[in-house]
Amino acid sequence: MAARFSGVLQLTDLDDFIAPSQECIKPVKVDKKPGKAAAKIRIEADGSYFQVNQDGEAQKLEKAKITLNDCLACSGCITSAESVLVSQQSHGELCKVLAQNKAAAAHEQKLVVVSVSPQSRASLAARCRLGLLETAQKLTTFLKGLGKCVHHVFDTTFSRNFSLLESQQEFVRRFQRQAEDKKALPMLASACPGWICYAEKTHGSFIIPHISTTKSPQQVMGSLVKGYFAEQQHLPPDRIYHVTVMPCYDKKLEASRPDFFNQEFQTRDVDCVITTGEVLKLLEQEGVSLSDVDPSPLDTMLGRAAEELSSHRGGGSGGFLEHIFIHAARELFGIHGASIHYRPLKNKDFQEVTLERDGQVLLHFALAYGFRNIQNLVQKLKRGKCPYHYVEVMACPSGCLNGGGQIKLEGESSKEELQQVERLYESLRAEVPEQNQAVRELYEHWLGGWGSHRALQVLHTQYHAVERASSALSIKW
């Protein structure tokens, strides 16, 4: 692994690497028995290992297994979870689980739910040359046909409403307490797990207080599926197998965080994450062209069939900056319908937005995509020269639509390809989270209202500084 770039970076031609990758290691306890000379290790043609002692006796050795829980995001995994770490979360694992579920006794079978991200849907639509609604309807049919035991297919645009609303309220609270809490601002977005891994491991306790505690749309959906939806189905959380389709390999790492594991029922909020590219592999594996699949009605969590898709304003990474900006302008300064004008700085992936009145800057926001811009942002923070109140931070250059798990279009330059996906993504009607009736119902009847203690428990999380392993590559000369 140390000899090459991350597999995802290779696949997507992203060039945003910070440092050479360290060897991916997992400490293994070795029991040394006194009085025995060192044994030799023999490697067979099939890759298996044998320990050969002085008497010539050979003993086959078990291969060390590394799971996502062992990952320290040592550097290659900052922007992607390496393939050796994600064996438990792949389309192959999904197929295996579906087959086991189908063969299980009726009382042991799980309800299978798949939640699809809007970025993945746009990438698939561009690849298959379909409209977004058509893609969603056909994908619903295809996914429900996998092993004939996928029961519901949801859209994570729904859960993103909660992430946006909670982020808005959290920013206002932080802004109002900035005088007594020096680390309340700037508030940094938390929806990107690649950025979170980097922040926890590289800057730890310095940066963590600035990061929004609001869960990402994927993890909010996990809470909704294993919480609200499980209750509606009269099932315990561990009787639901929840799969998400994401534009990013780091989402696999996010789903595996201990914070998103239910100790009582011994189940994760999101059991398996597959990327957009892995959905394409599933289609190829089944010998199916998505354009030839019949459409199905779209599922919703509240049981009403959806007749159309919707999105949110503010770009392909979720629109956190714009929603928080407009909400803060209204709540803090009484300015309704604040206009947003982006001003590029060093590059298109580092832009800022200001709200001014009578020549005074009231709000100063920015977006920083890609690790080069993130490093610049962190350095400003460390020097005490960061002027921003809020920053939308994403690890991938150009944001989530350009995620490492997205599909590479044939014969298209990366720029044209991204523009095509962006056009599709932005073609939907943008909804206002506060006006979504289903969201309002869940807040009122399940979460106990806006800003309730239960809402904070269900929709927020925490972060942890990760102790860095020292190596020659991490020394700053």
Q: Is the dihedral of CA 296, 297, 302, 307 positive or negative?
A: positive
Q: Are strands 360-369 and 390-394 parallel, antiparallel or unpaired?
A: parallel
Which residues, listed in sequence order, are joined to residue 214 by a DSSP beta bridge? 460
Name 250's Cβ contacts closer than 8 Å, sequence gap at least 6: 77, 79, 80, 81, 192, 193, 194, 197, 395, 404
Return the amino acid letter for 456.
Answer: L
Residue ranges of the chain with per-residue pLDDT less than 50: 1-30, 68-85, 471-477
Residue 370 neighbours by CB distance under 10 Å: 22
Q: Does residue 318 contact residue 162 with C-beta atoms inside 8 Å?
A: no
CA–CA dist 72, 59 (Å, integer): 31
pLDDT of amino acid 361: 92
pLDDT of amino acid 412: 65
**Helix-helix angle 157-176:437-445, to 10 degrees:** 60
pLDDT of amino acid 469: 55
pTM of the predicted model, to two decimals? 0.81
pLDDT of amino acid 431: 92
CA–CA dist 80, 249 (Å, integer): 5
Render 210-229 in DSSP notation, one character per residue.
GB--BPPHHHHHHHIIIIII
pLDDT of amino acid 253: 86
CA–CA dist 201, 203 (Å, integer): 6
pLDDT of amino acid 39: 67
- Where is 344: in which H helix or E strand? strand 343-344
Q: What tokens were used for 281?
A: 């592999």
Return the amino acid letter for 222.
Answer: G
Name 177's Cβ contacts closer than 8 Å, sequence gap at least 6: 184
Q: Chain-centre distance of CA 417, in angstroms?
A: 22
Residue with the two structure tokens 């920013």: 171
Start-end of H helices in 370-413? 371-382
- The half-sphere exposure of 155 on its side-chain side, counting CA atoms within 13 A, is 28
pLDDT of amino acid 70: 46
pLDDT of amino acid 87: 63
First to last CA, the chain: 24
Which residues, listed in sequence order, are joined to residue 354 by a DSSP beta bridge? 364
Q: Is 390 helix (H, G, I), strand (E, B) or coil?
A: strand
Q: Chain-centre distance of CA 276, in angstroms?
A: 12
Cα→Cα distances 470→22, 76, 361, Å: 10, 15, 43
Q: What share of the chain is helix, strand, coil (3-state, %, to 5)?
A: 40, 15, 45
